[in-house]
Each structure stands twice: as C-alpha cells, then as structure tokens.
Amino acid sequence: MTDNILFDLKGVHKSFTRGKETIKIFDGLDMQIKKGDFLAIMGPSGSGKTTLLNMLGGVDQPTSGEVLFDGSRVDTLSEGQLSKWRANNIGFIFQFYNLMPMLSAARNVELPLLLTNLSKKDRKNSVETALKLVELADRASHLPKEMSGGQQQRVAIARAIVSDPKLLLCDEPTGDLDRHTADEILEMLQLLNEKFGKTIVMVTHDPSAAKYAKRTLHLDKGEFVEKDLAA
C-alpha cells in the first residue's frame, strides 16, 4: 500500500511572520498523494493552495512536520540537494508559462536536460519527442513572443515532461488562457496522466479545469473542507 504513495505529508505546520504578527497557513495538515493521481486543489485566495504547491515542489519548507516523497524525507534537504531533487523528480507548469524569452521553444524545452548527463544528440532527440507530444514540432525554432499563449503553455508542458519527472506541479495552468485553449491544455494534462502515468497536482480557481482531474480537494484556511474528498 505504502509503495503506491508518492507524497505523504504528516502533521505539516506552516506559518509566516509579518512584522509582529504570525500568520498560520497550515496547522497539522495530513495528506497523501498516490502515484498516477491527477489531483486538483481548489480554494479561495489565501487558503494555502500555492503554499502547498510550493512545499510539494521543494521551493518552500514546512515550519514543522514531515514531507515524504516516495518514502524519503524532502523537508530536511539542503537548498543544493533540493535543486537536484527537483531536477530529477518535478516538472513545473506555471500560470504565465515562465519561458525564457530569448530562447527558442526547443532551447526552452532543453533547459532541464542540461542538468542531466545526456549527450547533445540525446538531448536533441528528447526535445523533439517532447515537442511532438505537445504538437509543436514545427515551432521548435520560434521564440516565445512569436507564439500564442496556448502554444507557449504547451512549450512549458514539453519543458516540464522532457526529463521524464514523476510529478507535474501546475500552478493555475489555464489561468491566462481562453476557454477553448484551456480545454486543449487540460486534455493534454489528462493524456499525460492517463497514457504516460504522470502524477499531476494542479492548483486552480476554475471548477471547469478541476473536472479534468481524477479528484479535487478544497482548501480553506489551511484545511481540506470536504474531508470525504481527501485521501
């Protein structure tokens, strides 16, 4: 049973200090994410969605509690160890794509591969495969500014999957897109989950987007408010 758990959060506390005030985000949060899951996290602003996503991605650490990934603690890793862990295990998809504006689509997709030991030829092959998967092989040499928002997000997806990470973390991936384009992106995420087995955690405000996920968790003031939906 435990082998099937990708993320296991145990008694996670998270608080911020702002001036003399301490703001509690999570106060003993427990959560599990199974391998192959497609999880949507919804909730109002300030509910802790992004903080949770950041902790899952190792760009933020809990104040206390344990975060286990595939059975190993990641909340105790150093900054350098976290960088390597992210490179090996996590693909990020951002609301505003976060592509490097001066690099072509292919060069953007290649970035995570620069952290591996792949040869230039292997990197090129992987980039081509990823761009084909997002149906942008013909735009490989284009700069982000020469592409639409939907195309840019597809490049970002290609960048997120090119090094074959176990987990994709999506921060409002369709928040900057029109409905039609958003549906295309969400179908692509669904495909990655169902056909390629990627575990996906998606933070979103959009109930239509959440429908593409296998399950949805609602956060409010740092707690899951519909407990029956939580694992």
Partner 1 sequence: MGSIFSQISAVVAMNIRSLPQRFWMSLAMVIASAVVVAILLAFLAMAKGFSATLDSAGSENVAIFTREGSAAELNSVISRDQVNIIETAPGVVKDENGPVISPELYVIVDGIKKSSQTEANIPLRGIDERGFAMRKNVQITDGRMFTPGTNEMIVGAGILREFDGFALGEEVRFGKVIWKVVGVFSTGGNVFESELWADVKVLQSLYNRGSSYQTARVQMSSPNDLEAVRKFVADDPRLNLDVETEEAYFKAQGKQLSYMAYFGWIISSIMALGALAGALNTMYTSVAERAREIATLRAIGFSSLSAFVGTIVEALVLAAIGGAFGSIVAFLLFDGLNASTLGGSFTQVVFSFEMTGDLFIQGGIIALMIGFLSGFFPAFRAARLPVIVAFRNAA
Sheet containing 38-42, strands listed edge to edge, beginning at the edge strand earlier in sequence: 90-93, 167-171, 199-203, 38-42, 215-220, 223-224
Beta bridge partners of 96: none
CB of 171 to partner 1, least distance (A): 9
Q: Residue 65 or residue 216: which is nearer to partner 1 going by CB?
A: 65
Q: Which residues of 203-221 are buried (b: 16+ CB within 10 A; e: fewer)?
A: bbebeebbebbeebbbbee
CB of 206 to partner 1, least distance (A): 18
**CA-based nearest residue to 57, from 32, 109, 93:** 93
Q: Residue 19 or residue 101: which is nearer to partner 1 going by CB?
A: 101
51: left (phi over 0), alpha (psi -120 to 50) or beta: alpha
At 167, give phi and psi (nearest 5°): -130, 135
CB of 98 to partner 1, least distance (A): 4
Q: Residue 102 or residue 229: which is nearer to partner 1 going by CB?
A: 102
Q: Residue 172 or residue 216: which is nearer to partner 1 going by CB?
A: 172
**CA-based nearest residue to 144, from 176, 180, 184:** 176
CB of 177 to partner 1, least distance (A): 17
CB of 115 to partner 1, least distance (A): 5
Q: Residue 122 or residue 194: which is nearer to partner 1 going by CB?
A: 122
List residues near partner 1 by CB under 8 A. 54, 57, 59-60, 79-80, 83-84, 86-88, 92, 94, 98, 100-103, 111-118, 159
Sheet containing 5-18, strands listed edge to edge, beginning at the edge strand earlier in sequence: 21-34, 5-18, 64-69, 72-73
